[in-house]
């Protein structure tokens, strides 16, 4: 081609200098035109064929690669290839054009790989076994390695040196690289530990008071973990904090299908007493307590009789207490409650008395883990239990107020 162009220019009887300049201009125009044509063919024809083929397939992974512009960026290689193979025609400038073409192809290839890896992340999110894995962290690590490799190759080509020689000199830059990529290295280690020990997954509800975190994990990347708190604020924390600081993950609660209620009712100790006949007759009217009082009274009566207990004095033998009957009532009430999980820990217990009275602890699980519903269920239960306390002649403890002190005086 160069000989043909040169022969046509020679027929114009131009000076040697002008002839050479015109030759280069025409050659550059022709190669540029061919590069433009190759780009148009790649983008307007090949890409449309690929788009059409992808639209016809039933799989989703190719659509995701298409959305990430993998094929679009791949088309940028066509003009560079034209310039690379046309370089010998430019004579003394051939080496420079080849280098520039290779550099451009490396940069374009890096962008293709970057898009392809991002497409893999999207594909991983559609696979059930990978959906809650920190795939993005590993992809970002590969991306860093790809960019570093590309940078070394570009420098090696520009200075006309072997990339292996540059890599051998990279040891001297280790300290600088460790400083620059400190968070990435710590994040990589944390990502491996997170994946191995299954600490956090996307979608988990986690709590980290130190960082003001209390919400759902939106994304786990190489350097950061993004969490949306329940007040809709977004908190971003370094990935390595997952292994360096205390973290509370509520995933177990979600998977178990039960949410714990652990709350105390403080009973005024001064209101605790043995049950007399009048109180027992009143409590028997509570349907869910009738059987308990009947059976327990019979059991105590038989025990006292067998042991020749003088029941005329309250301190002798066994007797029902109002707080014991209340505990029995709480147990029966919660066993019949439709929102209490019957297959998980169910405990109504008495804790050690303290300056606030006698704690009666309710330790059960609801079968509805939704936060709003859970709070409603818990509130309804304690509304009822506090309201029924007077039926047992029991009083809840509370610190005296000005009104109560005024009444006492």
d(CA 40, CA 47): 10
Coil vs helix vs strand at 47: helix
Looking at residue 83, its pLDDT comes to: 78
**Torsions phi, psi of 151, nearest 5?**
-60, -45
Judged on CB neighbours under 10 Å (0-12, 13-18, 19+), 302 is exposed
DSSP secondary structure of 295-355: HHHHHHHHHHHHTT--TTSTTSS---BHHHHHHHHHHHHHHT-TTB-TTS--EEEE---BT
- List all residues 6 or more positions away from 291 whose beta carbon is below 8 Å from its beta carbon: none
| Backbone dihedral angles phi then psi of residue 79, each to the nearest 5 degrees | -60, -35
Amino acid 91: pLDDT: 67
CB 85 within 8 A of CB 70: no
Question: In sequence order, what are the beta bridge partners of 228?
Answer: 216, 234
Residue 180, pLDDT score? 66
What pLDDT, on the 0 to 100 scale, is given for residue 262?
95
Beta bridge partners of 358: 267
Q: Which of 149, 234, 147, 242 is nearest to 188 (CA)?
A: 242
Q: What is the pLDDT of residue 36?
A: 77
> What residue has token string 């001064």?
270
| 114 CB neighbour count, 10 Å cutoff | 20
* DSSP letter string, 153-216: HHHHHHTT--HHHHHHGGGGGHHHHHHHTHHHHHHHHHHHHHHHHT---TT-EEEEGGGTEEEE
User: How many whole angstroms separate alpha carbon 1 and alpha carbon 88?
Assistant: 11
How far is residue 400's CA from residue 389's CA, in Å, rounded to a whole number?
Answer: 19
The reported pLDDT for the residue numbered 275 is 92
Q: Which fold has domain 259-400?
A: Alpha-Beta Plaits (3.30.70)
pLDDT of residue 168: 61
80 in Cβ contact with 36 (< 8 Å): no
Per-residue pLDDT of the chain (409 residues; tens, 9 = 90+): 545 555 555 555 555 555 555 565 666 676 777 777 777 777 777 777 777 777 777 777 777 777 777 777 777 777 788 777 777 766 667 788 788 888 888 888 888 888 888 887 777 777 776 666 667 767 777 887 888 888 888 888 887 777 766 666 555 566 666 666 677 777 777 877 777 677 888 889 999 999 999 999 998 887 789 999 988 999 999 888 888 888 899 888 888 889 999 999 999 999 999 999 899 999 999 999 999 999 999 999 999 989 888 877 878 889 999 999 999 999 999 999 999 999 999 999 999 999 999 999 999 999 999 989 999 999 999 999 999 999 999 999 988 766 555 555 5
For the chain, what are the domain ranges?
A: 2-194, 198-256, 259-400
CB 131 within 8 A of CB 125: yes
CATH code of the region 198-256:
2.30.30.60
**What was the pLDDT predicted at 66?**
73
**Euclidean distance between CA atoms 42 and 45, whole angstroms:** 6
Q: Which long-range contacts (CB under 8 A, 24 or more apart) does 292-295 make?
A: 292/325, 292/328, 292/329, 292/332, 293/320, 293/325
């Amino acid at each position: 081609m160069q000989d043909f162009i040169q022969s046509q220019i020679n027929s114009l009887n131009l000076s040697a200098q002008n002839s050479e300049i015109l030759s280069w201009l025409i050659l550059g125009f022709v190669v540029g035109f061919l590069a433009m044509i190759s780009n148009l063919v790649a983008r307007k024809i090949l890409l449309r064929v690929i788009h059409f083929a992808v639209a016809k397939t039933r799989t989703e992974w190719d659509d995701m690669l298409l959305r990430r512009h993998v094929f679009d960026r791949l088309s940028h290689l066509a003009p560079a290839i034209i310039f690379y193979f046309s370089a010998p025609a430019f004579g003394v400038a051939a080496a420079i054009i080849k280098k520039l073409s290779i550099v451009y192809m490396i940069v374009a290839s890096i962008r293709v790989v970057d898009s392809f890896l991002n497409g893999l992340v999207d594909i991983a999110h559609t696979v059930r076994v990978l959906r809650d894995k920190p795939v993005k962290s590993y992809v970002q690590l590969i991306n860093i390695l790809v960019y570093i490799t590309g940078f070394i190759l570009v420098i090696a080509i520009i200075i006309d040196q072997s990339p292996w020689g540059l890599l051998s000199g990279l040891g001297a830059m280790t300290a600088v690289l460790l400083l620059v990529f400190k968070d990435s290295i710590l994040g990589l280690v944390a990502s491996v530990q997170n994946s191995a020990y299954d600490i956090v997954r996307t979608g988990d509800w986690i709590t980290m008071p130190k960082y003001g975190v209390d919400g759902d994990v939106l994304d786990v990347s190489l350097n950061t973990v993004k969490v949306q708190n329940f007040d809709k604020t977004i908190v971003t924390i370094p990935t390595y904090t997952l292994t360096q600081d205390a973290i509370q993950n509520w995933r177990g609660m979600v998977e178990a299908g039960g949410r714990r209620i652990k709350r105390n009712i403080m009973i005024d100790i001064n209101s605790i007493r043995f049950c007399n006949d009048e109180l027992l007759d009143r409590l028997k009217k509570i349907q869910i307590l009738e059987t308990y009082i009947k059976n327990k009274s019979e059991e105590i009566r038989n025990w006292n009789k067998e042991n020749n207990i003088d029941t005329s004095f309250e301190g002798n033998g066994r007797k029902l207490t109002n707080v014991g009957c209340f505990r029995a009532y709480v147990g029966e009430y919660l066993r019949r409650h439709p929102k209490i999980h019957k297959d998980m820990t169910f405990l109504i217990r008495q804790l050690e008395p303290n300056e606030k009275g006698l704690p009666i602890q309710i330790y059960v699980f609801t079968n509805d883990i939704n936060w709003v519903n859970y709070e409603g269920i818990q509130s309804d239960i304690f509304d009822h239990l506090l309201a029924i306390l007077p039926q047992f002649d029991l009083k809840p403890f509370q610190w005296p107020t000005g009104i109560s002190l005024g009444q006492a005086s």
